[in-house]
Structure 1
Amino acid sequence: MKSRQRLAVSLWLRVMMLIILTAAAFCYAMFQGGFVSWFLFYAFLPYALYALLFALIPLRVTAKRTLQQTRLKAGDVLSVEVEIKRTTPFPYVYVMMEDAPPDTFHLQEQIEMKQMLFPWFQKTWRFSYQLNDIPRGEHQFTAVRIKTGDMFGFVEKEVVLPLEKKLLVYPKVLDLPVASAESVNENGGKAVHSWLNEPTNMTTGVREYQQGDRFAWVDWKTTARRGQLMTKEFEQNQTKDLVVFADFTDEAVFETVVSIAASVLQTAVKKGVPAGLVPLGDQHAFRVDQGELHLQDMLYYLTRVQYQPSRTSEYQPLAASEYQYSGKYVVTGQLQEELAANLLGNRSKKNLSVLLVKGAGERLTTKEKLLVDRLKASGIRTTTLFEDSLHERTVR
């Protein structure tokens, strides 16, 4: 409110100064006389009248922001278009339009989210821009700023239009190098064993197509023979489910841990595998379930999750009875003694897979190498993933 009052006072001070200058030019022409003095007065008069009308006529505009993409992943490019419409036909010499970035955008490069136009009588003003390498998270656009003035800057106006828009940027999905259980040891642990590459159901028959059936389930041979769409029926294997335990206490590889957790969950749900998410050290956990809505709930959590400072993590869920027969993925950036002890104390070690994430150029510490050897010796699959090689396999 105070800023508006200051702008109004400044505007009227400029108008008074303009009137005084016009009166001074007129008085000079009256007393001096001659061609030059009257030429100066008549040359200045149109600009003065324009500035006076510019000050008196209010700037009434409406704004609309359009995001070209509605479902983004971290690292994508965001295209934004801002459209301004005005109701008065008054000509404007120039207009500066600016869209302020959300506070949650920590972009590495300075992005110009503003543009100057020379619209004159145009009623619709548009400008667009692109944001590269969008960060993961929930972002809120707030307002659009419009600034204009007369030709010589005697009078200036500025309007801030509240224009809220929420943008969800999901974690980056990585193409993890998945291998079968038999090939893990042969590849030296460089591939990720996955329950997802093993069959989770068997075909038991066919039935008529129903709304909601996947296109990939259509049995084309039976469809051609009977003349109507037929889909396969499956016998679900109820023992095949998966739980991702994510450790968000390592700031150096935090974003990569989030991306790996999201990638495993998305792959599981798309293959029809019931999946759940348990953030270590956090009370918020997602039960084992399946379906797109359940996946969206987990991805929304991973979209908004923030780095959790180092603290004593709670590893008890790893040994919970409800996850005894589930395939377990433990995604962490630091393999600590406490975590290794909980893993070694787990009854169903064959269901465990540890994904140890390291930064580009980083190597395992001596302690981590010993713990990795202990886990592998007990039958727990342990894979070390490096950020530089993972981000080269980003799914687009």
Structure 2
Amino acid sequence: MRQQRWGKVKVIGLVLLTYVFAKFQGGFASWFLFYCSLVFLVYEALAYALLFSTLEVVRLVDRNRLRDGDDVIVTIRLRRRIWFPLGWNMVMEPLPDRLAGVYEPHRQLIFPWFKREVEFRYVIPNLPRGYYRLGDCVVSGGDFFGFMERRKAFALSDEFLVYPSLQKVERWVLGDGSFSGNVHVSHRRSDDVAAVRGVREYQRGDRLSQIHWRATARGTGLKTKEFEHQAMNQAMFFLDVEKASYQKLPDSLFETAVKLTASLIACANRNQYHYGLVYKQAERVSIAPGLSHGHFLTVFDQLARVMPQGTDSFARVVGREALEQPPGVTLIVVTPSVQKELLGRLIALAQKGRRLQLFLVYAEPVLSPEQKKALQLLSTVKVSCTSIHIDDREWKRIGGA
């Protein structure tokens, strides 16, 4: 503001000075200087008025869904509707809140001169999992001579998600072995009319023999028979996001829990089994079991956003949400802590005949005696327990007996 105010004073002072000089001195040279200063004044006035009034700023992000560790390329395009020679522009791009202090905000000095459109790119490297938002773009500009400088924030908003990285799970034994890595189950109960337990919406890949023609004839779209083995091959994931569970533990432990959940879900999706996700952060997130490309993106969108900031007890979340799941659904619990309350909830569910798998992520070199005792107690009630260390690099065979 100070430079802008003094710039106006200097320009006006220059015109007044040349006018006074021409009045007292007279002659061609004196008046020539005065008219030149008038031209200079007109240019400064036009540059001030047209600097931002004709400027459009466009931001483009090359992808809105990335994988943990990927780089994002951001393109900034400055376009002017009216041609006019201007001096310079300084573009300052903001950083998402999660990256503040990690990288410096990007600054780019541009000399547009006689160009109506200028474009540049920059890279935000090695992004960790999460949700990111790029806010307003701040553009500064001035004339050739340094008498005038202005700044304006252009209201832009761009969002992108960084999905957790995956490890390939080649064999995941789920209870009766239905997640064995084979797409087709060994039995043919789907051909038995008595095995039909309900109907659901038609999904791409369903066989013609599975279509429920009577339900379809009611005019609500194609319906597919849902068989008993399909219900057995459904899994609901319970991810522990309670803040207290991760206190005094490495930050990467939660990332391990999310990465494990994502890898198991990718395995389920690859083997064409239905899966869902439940967690309670600030708000309850409950995604019913499903199987489609859109469902996969919906689940992974939540896995990209989730953070260990929940305030509700994870044990109560499991106990409450498990009651809403059909008996045939296998409950998958991913947590870094098996406290007494959660242990009691899992034992009670197992005694009611619910199929359960517990994945315990830990950061210590070995499991504590309390953790080992809890896992042994759960195993006695037929809860499948698997411990995953934070530094484990291969999860090819996990779960089951």
How high is the TM-score relative to the length of structure 2? 0.71
Structure 1 segments (4+ residues) deviating >4 Å: 9-13, 25-33, 37-50, 211-214, 280-283, 390-393
Q: 1: distance between equivalents of 2:324 and 2:11? A: 81
Select 1:62's aligned residue among 56, 61, 65.
Answer: 56
Is the partner of 2:12 in helix, strand or coil?
Answer: helix
In the alignment, the residues of structure 1 paired with residue 255 and residue 380 of structure 2 have an alpha-carbon distance, to the nearest angstrom, of 30
Q: Deviations over 1:336-383 (max 9, x none)?
A: 122222223313789432211224x66533322322333345443322
Contact 1:179–1:194 (8 Å) recurs in 2: no
Contact 1:136 1:171 in 2 (8 A): yes
Aligned residue identity for 1:19: I
Distance 1:392 1:384, change over 3 A: closer
The 8 Å contact of residues 200 and 237 in structure 1, kept in 2 or not, is answered as no
For residue 22 of structure 1, report the CA deviation from its aligned partner: 4.1
State the SS of the aligned residue for 1:255. helix
Tell me what 1:258 maps to: 258
Could you tell me which of 355, 360, 382 is aligned with 2:359? 355
Note the residue ranges of structure 1 that are not aligned, 5 or more in a row: 1-6, 185-192, 205-210, 215-234
List aligned pairs for 1:374-393, cutoff 5 A: 374-390=377-393
* Aligned residue runs from structure 1 range 135-150, under 5 A: 135-150=128-143
Residue 217 (structure 2) aligns with: none
In the alignment, is the contact (CA less than 8 A) between 1:15 and 1:55 conserved in 2? no
**Unmatched segments (≥5 aa) in structure 2:** 189-202, 207-226, 397-401
Give the alignment of 1:174-213 within 5 angstroms. Answer: 174-179=166-171, 181=173, 195=179, 197-201=181-185, 212-213=204-205
CA contact (8 A) 2:169 2:263 kept: no
Taking the aligned partners of 1:39 and 1:366, their CA distance within structure 2 comes to: 95
Query: How do 1:219-230 and structure 2 match up within 5 A?
Result: none
Q: Distance in 1 between matches of 2:129 and 2:258?
A: 10
1-side partners of 2:50 and 2:172: how far apart?
73
- Alignment partner for residue 85 of structure 2, among 82, 91, 97? 91
Find the counterpart in structure 2 of residue 336 from structure 1: 339
Cα distance in 2 for partners of 1:392, 1:148 equals 54
Stretch moving more, 272-281 or 312-321:
312-321
Q: Which residue of 2 aligns with 1:131?
A: 124
The 1:42/1:135 distance shift into structure 2, 3 A limit, reads: farther
Taking only the aligned residue pairs, the percentage that are identical comes to 23
Rounded Cα–Cα distance in structure 1 between residues aligned with 2:59 and 2:111: 20
SS at match of 1:97: strand
**Deviation at 1:115?**
0.7
Q: Is the 8 A contact 2:137 2:154 kept in 1?
A: yes
Give the conservation status (yes or no) of the 8 Å contact 1:319–1:342. no
Amino acid in the other structure paired with 2:330: G
Using the alignment, how far apart are the partners of 1:203 and 1:373 within structure 2? 32
Against the structure 1 CA distance between its residues 123 and 16, is the aligned structure 2 distance closer, same or farther, given a 3 Å change threshold? Answer: same
Q: Go from structure 1 to structure 2 and tell me whether the alpha carbon gap of 1:136 and 1:376 turns closer, same or farther (over 3 Å shift).
A: same
Q: Give the Cα–Cα distance (whole angstroms) in 2 for the partners of residues 91 and 258 of structure 1.
A: 53
CA contact (8 A) 1:268 1:275 kept: yes
Contact 1:196 1:267 in 2 (8 A): no
**By how many angstroms is 1:164 displaced?**
2.4
Deviation at 1:64, TM superposition (A): 1.6
Contact kept, 8 Å, 2:3 with 2:149, in 1: the verdict is: no
**92-101 vs 47-56, which deviates more?**
47-56
Q: Which amino acid aligns with 2:80?
A: R
Aligned match of 1:267: 267
- Conservation of the 8 A alpha-carbon contact between 1:65 and 1:83: yes
1:325 maps onto 2:318 in alignment: no
Name the CA distance, whole Å, in 1 between partners of 2:324 and 2:47: 74
CA distance in 1, matches of 2:352, 2:233: 14
Normalised by the size of structure 1, how large is the TM-score? 0.72
CA, structure 1 residues 57+201, in 2 after alignment: closer, same or farther (shift >3 Å)? Answer: same
